[in-house]
Amino acid sequence: MNLNHPTTARVAISGIEINKVLRNTYALLSMTLLFSALTAGLSMAFSWPHPGMVLTLVGYFGLLMLTTKFRNSSLGILFVFALTGFMGLTLGPIISLYVTAFPNGNQLVMTALGGTGLIFLGLSSYVLTTKKDFTFIGGMLFAGILIAFLAGIGAAIFSIPSLSLAVSAMFVLLMSGLILFQTSQLVNGGETNYIMATVTLYISIYNLFLSLLHLLGIFGGDD
């Protein structure tokens, strides 16, 4: 008799569930990124204006709350696409601004996009390969993101370029940490809802791209 069989079976089932959540997360993330790129492209093509900070925050947090509320139903998927599509609409005018305001605007956007992709793939691959547990940084990330978020609002309201620069640098580090944290949660079974995992990774990628674009615009915009 194999006394370890029940334990082995539970481990196998757990591994299957983790792999399923991983597949669903990356599949949904890929689709939402493409949808967000589509809405950003439409926003650029039709020269739609940026909705402004207040409307952006209301739309983001409102759709995030709805996504969280319906995360265990099919409506959750609908609200994920609504959220990422809305964020794509806010991204289009920003990209258009960089393209038109800088002589090398297209290069800046592509460099930021490439850097975002490399960081995401590099950090994700590291965690998926090593299965290292990064859940210990969760508390620090929450505090850091809250501080950076409030500082970013202050920099926008009071037009403080140096603070805005510092916030962008902070967000590059914080979003990189959030990618490590969320991927670690997925790999080690700490996150079982692929809708919420998708939202976290999408927001990490979105903010990472914007932060890199801002930094590149400051340090490389005159090239």
Compute CA 173 distance to the chain's CA centroid, rounded to the nearest angstrom: 13
CA 51/CA 85 separation, integer angstroms: 14
- Model confidence pLDDT, tens digit, residues 138-175: 999 999 999 999 999 999 889 889 999 999 999 999 99
Under a CB-based contact definition with an 8 Å cutoff, are residues 191 and 185 in contact?
yes
pTM: 0.91
pLDDT at 111: 96
The answer, yes or no, to whether residue 8 has pLDDT greater than 70, is: no
CA 132/CA 181 separation, integer angstroms: 10
pLDDT at 2: 41
pLDDT at 5: 42
Q: Is 159 left (phi over 0), alpha (psi -120 to 50) or beta?
A: left
Under a CB-based contact definition with an 8 Å cutoff, are residues 29 and 161 in contact?
no
List the Cα angle 169/171/174 in 5-degree steps: 115
The pLDDT of 186-198, averaged and rounded, is: 93
pLDDT at 11: 43
The answer, yes or no, to whether residue 61 has pLDDT greater than 80, is: yes
Share of the chain above pLDDT 90, in %: 85
The CA–CA distances, whole Å, from 185 to 131, 174, 206 equal 10, 16, 20
* Mean predicted lDDT score pLDDT of the chain: 91
- Model confidence pLDDT, tens digit, residues 193-204: 999 999 999 999
Out of 4-13, 33-42, 78-87, 213-222, least confident range: 4-13
Under a CB-based contact definition with an 8 Å cutoff, are residues 178 and 200 in contact?
yes
- CB within 8 Å of 176: residues ≥ 6 apart: 119, 123, 208
Res. 221 pLDDT band, cuts 50 70 90: low
Residue type, 82: A
pLDDT at 222: 58
